[in-house]
Amino acid sequence: MLHIKGLEAKIEDKEILRGLSLDVKPGEVHAIMGPNGSGKSTLASVLAGREDYEVTAGEVQFNGKDLLDMAPEIRSREGLFLAFQYPVEIPGVSNMNFLKAAVAEKRKHLGLEPLSAKEFLKLVSEKSKLVELDGQLANRAVNEGFSGGEKKRNEIFQMAMLEPTLGILDETDSGLDIDALRIVANGVNALRSPERSFVLITHYQRLLDYIVPDFVHVLYKGRIVKSGTKELALELEEKGYDWIKEEVDAHA
Amino acid sequence: MSDEILDHITNKEYEFGFVTPIESDKIAAGLNEDVIRLISSKKNEPEWLLNWRLEAYAIWEKMNEPTWAHVQYKKPDFQGISYYAAPKQKPQLNSLDEIDPELRRTMEKLGISMEEQKRLSGVAVDFVMDSVSVATSFKEKLGELGIIFCSISEAIQEHPDLVRKYIGAVVPRTDNFYAALNSAVFTDGSFCYIPKGVRCPMELSTYFRINEGGTGQFERTLVIADEGSYVSYLEGCTAPQRDENQLHAAVVELVALGDAEIKYSTVQNWYPGDKDGKGGVFNFVTKRGLCDGNRSKISWTQVETGSAITWKYPSCILKGDYSVGEFYSVAVTNHMQQADTGTKMIHLGKNTTSTIISKGISAGKSQNSYRGLVQINKSAEHSRNFSQCDSLLMTDRCGAHTFPYIEVKNKSSKVEHEATTSKIGEDQIFYCLQRGLDQEQAISMIVNGYAKEVLNKLPMEFAVEAQKLLAISLEGSVG
């Protein structure tokens, strides 16, 4: 469902992704790990269509369509969801109105009838339970005054509402205490299905104790340099990244 | 941001730019004592008012246009303006069916058809087309409560004592250049009187429209809330597209007696000129409220999106002890628009409080200034003011300026001022895009969220209109 081949991208004049390839099949969970500055968050931003990054080479197919050709909002409506590392606050805009507009756009794109107010509220109450989100939070302004944990839970709640086919989680575990991490992970696990894939971008193995990935990849200098299963994450936890860096740099 | 979208939106022409072809009764351009006598006689006015106008004219002749505002424009030619234009029509209207069909269509285009207003919102509309009021509804119902809501011309005929007592009481003819001019030549406007202890059961609404090419419009509005009464008054305006500048110099006076409350809300969407700044309305308005009695309250709420030049400071004189003044404002400027707007809170009575919330939004190459005075006089012991002035920049070619003046003349009062300036966040927009909203929706949502504190102060039906206006004025204007 996601097919990345030879992807290169730069910001201003700095090359960040240098020929990244990755295949994600429906229902799979892929974890992307790597040292600081390896390009993990850039990958998330490029897939979501952030304008600051310029794609200089490579291709990305998403459900058989050319992802790079789509505007960011079209990527979203086509089923790509990015849970941000730093969700922004939008003062004065209620979470509910925000989501209502987002869900309506997606349904319109898919040629579906808009949800009635009653159906929408039912969906909200159902999905907010997934991440144990207080009903009050849904009525507050988007992320305004939310704690770090609440912001991340809100991201997962939004993901549940928008029912994407691909969820990209950009360091969703950063800044979470163990309870919040468990809640977020439970939410993600509840959303796992044979049609829905995930790309988890993370620094630490900790998250993968809760969301068990099918594959683990190591990103270094803008390329995937090693792939394996969840055991690779444990090995990284134990040994750090230096041995991989040495291996890669020796071949360079 | 995509230049294509930016171009498309910033080139969007004014949606309400249409002209209603109605025959007009219009006098030749120019201003002198004879013109004032002609206006006064056409309106069959009593002699005291003619004299009052002539005195105002003498005052005006000695005054100069104010130049301190942060705006630049070509001065209007005051001798090139026709000071009276009235739509030709039957002199007496008893029902809506008698209104000129062209006029009806204009109202319908604006989405403010009388029937709909009547049916949906229970709003009584005093529709001002150019200078003469053409329709007043709900009059009977208001009459039962003793509420007077009519054109000022009618009030001059029917309630001369009230008009004579209060006209110029809050904005004297000597106040400023435009107020003096208005006093000399005003042709119509609205009048409202709420008797003692009466709570007006509906929002009173006036829709203004400048229709006749080249005519200046000099509205005069007087709202009096007698002791213990309450009224919510709505003013909204759109104007047809023009090539020449149109001068608008209105005067609005509010008087709240003891324990009375006046809530005055404005949505202003006059033609702002084209994207190069050509044409557009000059809006030089004097609005002031007097909290005359103890525990009285006056609240101004304005959403300003139109006009080429805005010069406007709805103010409160807090004379009664424990009186309250409020000013809530959203001022949007785009393209080449210039706005210098704010408020004055003059504290005279003891324990008076005032609140100022100003949200400026600048886009295109526009200039948006907040100018406010908080004056706490010696007599105003234990008074308080809170001011919050926020500016949002949509591009790096526009300007936002804040000119706060604070004068405190006693030691028991407290004044707080907060100000912020921010640029609309790329991060916020991208967050919305990632959730499937397009750029226009994203900006509309962010801007409406930013202005929410003020929009929430508007009556429901006005708030919806105001949100649409903000969206129309700004969508896609980020750069």
Q: What is the ipTM of this complex?
A: 0.96
Identify the residue whose tokens are 């700095």.
A14
Cα three-residue angle B126-B131-B132, rounded to 5 degrees: 55
Distance (Å, rounded) from C-alpha B103 to C-alpha B105? 5
Distance (Å) from the alpha carbon of A49 to chain B's nearest alpha carbon: 8
Contact A73 B436 (CB under 8 A): yes
- Give the pLDDT score at B6: 42
Contact criterion met (CB below 8 Å) for B330 and B306 = no
* Pair A154, A172: CB distance under 8 Å: no
Terminal Cα-to-Cα distance of chain A (whole angstroms): 31
**CA angle, A15 as apex, B478 and A202 as ends, to 5°?**
85
Per-residue pLDDT of A150-166, as tens digits, reads 999 999 999 999 999 99
Q: Torsion angle, CA of A162/A164/A167/A172, rounded to 10 degrees? A: 10
* Residue B244 CB neighbours (<10 A): 12
Residue A156, class by beta-carbon neighbours within 10 Å (0-12 exposed, 13-18 middle, 19+ buried)?
A: buried
Chain B residues within 8 A of A75 when measuring between CB atoms = 434
Q: What residues 85-144 of chain B have any CB closer than 8 A to a CB of chain A?
A: none
Tokens 């003013």: give the residue.
B235
Q: What's the pLDDT score for residue A250?
A: 84
Query: Measured between CB atoms, which of A87, A97, A106 is closest to B436?
Result: A106
User: In sequence order, what are the beta bridge partners of A142?
Assistant: A90
How far is it, in rounded angstroms, from Cα B218 to Cα B84? 9
Q: Looking at beta carbons, which residues of chain B come within 8 Å of A87? A: 431
Check CB contact of B432 with chain A, cutoff 8 Å: yes
Q: What distance lies between CA B429 and its chain's CA centroid?
A: 32
Say whether B453 and A92 touch across the interface (CB within 8 A). yes
Max Cα-Cα span within chain A: 61
SS3 state of residue B38: helix
The answer to whether A21 and A224 are in contact (CB under 8 A) is yes
With CB atoms and an 8 Å threshold, state whether A92 touches B451: yes
Would you say B93 and B132 are in contact if contact means Cβ atoms under 8 Å apart? no
User: pLDDT-based confidence at A174, cuts 50/70/90?
Assistant: confident
**Beta-strand (E) ranges in chain A?**
2-11, 14-24, 29-33, 53-62, 65-66, 80-83, 90-94, 141-142, 166-170, 197-201, 215-220, 223-228
Judged by a CB distance cut-off of 8 A, whether residue B438 touches chain A is yes
Of A84, A93, A109, the CB nearest to B449: A93
Instruction: Tell if the CB–CB gap between B436 and A109 is shorter than 8 Å.
Output: yes
Q: Which residue type is seen at B186?
A: F
* Among A72, A91, A98, beta carbon nearest to B430: A72
Identify the CA nearest to B24 among candidates B108, B106, B104, B130: B130
Nearest CA in chain B to A101: B437
pLDDT score, position B95: 54
Contact B214, B245 (CB under 8 A): no
Residues facing residue B264 across a β-bridge: B233, B300
Q: Distance from A74 to chain B by nearest Cα, in Å?
A: 7
Burial (CB count <10 Å: 0-12, 13-18, 19+), residue B422: exposed
- Tell whether B449 lies on the interface with A, counting CB pairs under 8 A: yes
B contacts of A145 (beta carbons < 8 Å): none
Q: C-alpha distances in angstroms, B196 versus A181, B145, B187, B225, B444?
A: 63, 10, 29, 8, 43
What pLDDT sits at residue B121? 37
Q: Do A101 and B446 touch (CB under 8 A)?
A: no
Query: Looking at beta carbons, which residues of chain B come within 8 Å of A99?
Result: 435
B97: which DSSP letter? Answer: G
By CB atoms closer than 10 A (0-12, 13-18, 19+), residue B144 is exposed
Which chain B residue has its CA at the smallest distance from A82's CA?
Answer: B434
Residues of A within 8 A of B433 (CB-CB) are 49, 71-73, 76
Cα-based angle A133, A139, A140 (whole degrees, multiple of 5): 90
Beta bridge partners of A61: A3, A66
Dist. CA B214–CA B32, nearest whole Å: 18
Report the pLDDT value the prediction gives residue B113, as an integer from 0 to 100.
47
Residues in A whose CB is inside 8 Å of some CB of B read 48-51, 71-73, 75-77, 81-82, 84, 87-88, 90-93, 97-99, 101-102, 105-106, 109, 141, 158, 162
Two tokens at B282?
């000059």
Residue B66, φ and ψ in degrees, nearest 5: -65, 140
Calpha distance B260→B243 (Å, rounded): 43
For the stretch B37-68, what's the b/e string if a residue is b when 16 or more beta carbons lie within 10 angstroms of its beta carbon?
eebbeebebeeebbebbebbbebbeeeeeeee
Cα distances (angstroms) measured from residue B307 to each of B205, B317, B394 = 21, 27, 19
Q: Chain B residue with minimal CA distance to A109?
A: B436
Is B448's CB within 8 Å of A93's CB?
Answer: yes
How high is the pLDDT of residue B195? 97
**Chain A residues touching residue B437 (CB < 8 angstroms):** 73, 101-102, 105
In terms of DSSP bridges, do strands B315-318 and B281-291 run parallel, antiparallel, or are they unpaired? Answer: parallel
Tens of pLDDT along chain B (479 residues) come to 444 544 444 445 555 555 555 555 677 888 999 999 999 998 899 999 999 999 999 999 999 988 888 888 888 888 888 887 765 443 444 555 555 565 555 455 555 445 444 433 334 455 555 444 434 456 677 888 999 988 888 899 999 999 999 999 999 999 999 999 999 999 888 899 999 999 998 888 765 444 444 445 788 999 999 999 999 998 875 444 454 557 889 999 999 999 999 999 988 877 777 777 777 888 999 999 999 999 999 999 999 887 889 999 999 999 999 999 999 999 988 888 899 999 999 999 999 999 999 999 998 899 999 999 999 999 999 999 999 999 999 888 899 999 999 999 999 999 999 998 888 888 999 999 999 999 888 988 998 899 999 988 988 767 777 777 777 777 556 65
What is the residue type of B345?
Answer: M
Q: How far apart are CA B393 and CA B423, in angstroms?
A: 5
Residue A145 has φ and ψ, to the nearest 5°, of: 70, 10
Does the distance separating the beta carbons of A48 and B434 come in below 8 Å?
yes
Task: Return the DSSP state at A88.
Answer: P
The distance of B435 to chain A (nearest Cα, Å) reads: 6
- Cα–Cα distances in angstroms (integers) from residue A42 to residues A11, A32, A81, A84, B235, in the given order: 9, 12, 15, 12, 51
Looking at CA atoms only, how far is residue B470 from chain A in angstroms?
Answer: 15
| Residue from A51, A73, A84 to probe the interface with B (highest B Cβ count within 10 Å) | A73
Interatomic CA distance for residues A168 and A156, integer angstroms: 11
Helix (H, G, I), strand (E, B) or coil at B122: coil
For residue B438, the chain A residue with the least C-alpha distance is A73
Q: Do A217 and A226 form a contact (C-beta atoms < 8 A)?
A: yes
CB pairs under 8 A between A and B: 74
- Chain B residue closest to A140 (CA)? B449
Question: Hey, of A93, A97, A139, A146, which one would you mutate to test binding to chain B, going by the most B CBs within 10 A of its CB?
Answer: A93
Determine the pLDDT at residue B306: 78
**Overall size of chain A counted in residues:** 252
Among B237, B205, B210, B211, smallest CA distance to B460 is for: B205
Q: What is the DSSP letter of A89?
A: P
Contacts of A147 by beta carbon, 8 Å cutoff, 6+ apart:
none
Answer whether B451 touches A (CB < 8 Å). Answer: yes
A73, A87, A106: residue with CB nearest B433: A73
For residue B450, the chain A residue with the least C-alpha distance is A92
Contact assessment for residue B296 and residue B325, using Cβ atoms and an 8 Å cutoff: no
The mean predicted confidence, pLDDT, of chain A is 92
Give residue-wise pLDDT tens across range A19-61. Answer: 999 999 999 999 999 988 899 999 999 999 998 899 999 999 9
Search chain B and give the residue with CA nearest A84: B431
What 3-state class would DSSP assign to A76? helix
Over its C-alpha atoms, chain B yields an Rg (Å, rounded) of: 22
For residue B126, give every residue at least 6 positions away whose Cβ sits within 8 Å of its Cβ, in sequence order, or none.
B133, B135, B136, B149, B150, B151, B190, B204, B205, B206
Q: CA-to-CA distance for A125 and A99, rounded, in angstroms?
A: 13
Three-state DSSP state, B321? coil
